[in-house]
Amino acid sequence: MAEVTYFTEEGLRKLKEELAYLKTEGRSKIANAIAEARDKGDLSENAEYDAAKEAQGLHEAKIANLENTLATARLIDESKLDTSKVLALSIVKIKNKKNGAEMTYQLVAESEADLKSGKISVKSPIAQGLLGKSKGDTAVIDVPAGKIEFEIVEVSR
Spatial CB neighbours of 151, under 8 Å, sequence gap ≥ 6: 94, 95, 97, 136, 137, 138, 139
pTM tops 0.85: no
Rounded to 5 degrees, what are φ and ψ at 28?
-65, -45
Q: Within 13 Å of residue 103, how many CA atoms lie on the same side as its CB?
A: 18
Give CA–CA dist 48/119, Å, rounded.
39
**Local confidence pLDDT in tens for the 157 residues of the chain:** 567 777 778 888 988 999 999 999 999 999 998 888 888 777 677 788 888 889 999 999 999 999 988 888 888 776 666 677 888 888 899 999 889 889 999 888 887 888 898 899 888 888 888 988 888 889 898 888 888 899 999 888 7
Q: What are the pLDDT digits (tens) for 120-153?
A: 988 888 888 898 888 888 989 888 888 889 999 9
Give CA–CA dist 139/131, Å, rounded.
9
Q: From start to end of the chain, where are the E strands? A: 5-7, 73-75, 91-96, 102-108, 119-121, 138-143, 146-156
Give the CA angle between residues 31, 32, 35 to the nearest 5°.
85
